[in-house]
Amino acid sequence: MPRELKFSTRIYKKEAVQKAIADYAHLAKFSFSNSPRYIKVKIDKITSGVENKFLDEFSNYVLGMTKKCL
């Protein structure tokens, strides 16, 4: 079942989301879109065995990448 995360553009950088998607691409299938308020990330086909922690870990990684992009 696909999941969706929304990252506020007031906090998160598009480049950080793109980097996180590239770095996690081996664990799931991603697509994303931008709006003025949010960067929406759709996640599907998460690798078996990591589903329970995947969304939290991915979100934390995006936050870390955002800090590096500042």
Question: Tens digit of pLDDT for each residue in 4-47?
Answer: 999 999 999 999 999 999 999 999 999 999 999 999 999 999 99
Q: Which residue has the higher pLDDT, 32 or 1?
A: 32
CATH number of the domain within which 26 lies: 3.30.70
User: Which pLDDT belongs to residue 67?
Assistant: 86
Residue 34 CA to residue 26 CA, distance in Å, equals 23
What average pLDDT does this structure show over 47-60?
94
b/e 15-33 (16+ beta carbons within 10 angstroms → b): ebbbbbbeebeebbebebe
> Do 43 and 29 touch, CB atoms closer than 8 A?
yes
Spatial strand order in the sheet of 3-8? 3-8, 38-44, 29-34
Q: Could you give the angle at the alpha carbon of 2 between the alpha carbons of 12 and 55, nearest 5°?
A: 45
How would residue 68 be classed by pLDDT, with cut points 50, 70 and 90? confident
User: What's the number of domains the chain is made of?
Assistant: 1
Q: Which domain holds residue 9?
A: 3-69
